[in-house]
């Protein structure tokens, strides 16, 4: 699981079965200092995140578990919109 | 499982029901000497850990779902222990 910044929206009309109604967003992984880290990925949104939001992303099998149908073909999902990150050490 | 140090607190209001009531921390992977070993990531607390603690992080979803007794939880990284001491073999 990692922190990421939402950097764009993705629209796909033709999608795998079960993906209807699921929002897709481009997210750029970031550190606690908000600096980009690695490459952006396309994540399914289980919250109501929007461009510019700092989000909490879960990966692989657990991504699909964030949705009502736990067998949809996604490997990254936004499971929280982060309000604040406090570096403590 | 890996060793990590809790380095940050992550607060969210809008979140998946599987995260409600659970503390989310940013953790820094470390080696047996306490040196940083890789990039930080997010982990959910299940051991009453806190900032500055050295912890054991489980990064396997099925194991986590068994620990939490919740078959549909999307958590992928769970803090399952607070480490008191690590003794590198060379130091013994």
- pLDDT tens for chain B, 92 residues long, are 999 999 999 999 999 999 999 999 999 999 999 999 999 999 999 999 999 999 999 999 999 999 999 999 999 999 999 999 999 887 55
- Contact yes or no for B41 and A1 at CB 8 A: yes
pLDDT at A89 over 80: no
Query: What value of ipTM does the predicted structure carry?
Result: 0.89
pLDDT at A88 over 90: no
**Which B residues in the span 27-66 are in contact with A, Cβ-Cβ below 8 Å?**
39-44, 51-52, 61-62
Residues in chain A within 8 Å Cβ distance of B30? none
Phi, psi angle pair for B21, to nearest 5°? 80, 5
Global pTM reads 0.91
Residues in chain A within 8 Å Cβ distance of B19? 56, 79-80
**Taking all residues of chain A, what is their mean pLDDT, rounded to a whole number?**
94
For A2-81, which CATH class?
A: mainly beta
Q: What is the mean pLDDT of residues A4-26?
A: 94
- Per domain, the residue ranges of chain A are 2-81
Q: What is the mean pLDDT of residues A32-43?
A: 95
Q: Which domains does chain B have, with CATH numbers?
A: 2-13+21-85 (2.40.50.220)
Q: How far apart are CA A15 and CA A45, in angstroms?
A: 15
Q: What is the mean pLDDT of residues A27-53?
A: 95
Residues in chain B within 8 Å Cβ distance of A3? 10, 26, 42
B62 three-state secondary structure: helix
**Which pLDDT belongs to residue A73?**
94
Count of beta carbons in the 10 Å neighbourhood of residue B14: 15
């Amino acid at each position: 699981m990692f922190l990421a910044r939402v950097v764009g929206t993705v629209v796909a009309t033709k999608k795998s079965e079960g993906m209807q109604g699921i929002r897709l967003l481009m997210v750029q992984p970031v550190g606690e200092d908000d600096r980009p880290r690695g490459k952006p990925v396309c994540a399914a949104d289980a919250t109501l995140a929007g461009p510019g939001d700092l989000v909490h992303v879960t990966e692989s099998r657990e991504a699909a578990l964030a949705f009502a149908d736990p067998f949809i073909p996604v490997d990254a999902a936004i499971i929280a919109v982060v309000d604040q990150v406090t570096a403590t050490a | 499982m890996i060793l990590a140090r809790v380095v940050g607190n992550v607060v969210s209001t809008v979140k998946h029901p599987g995260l409600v009531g659970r503390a989310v921390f940013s953790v820094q992977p470390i080696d047996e000497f306490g040196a940083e070993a890789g990039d930080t990531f997010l982990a959910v607390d299940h051991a009453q850990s806190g900032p500055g603690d050295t912890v054991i992080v489980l990064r396997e979803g099925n194991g986590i779902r068994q620990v939490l007794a919740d078959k549909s939880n999307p958590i992928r990284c769970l803090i399952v222990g607070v480490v008191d001491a690590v003794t590198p073999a060379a130091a013994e």
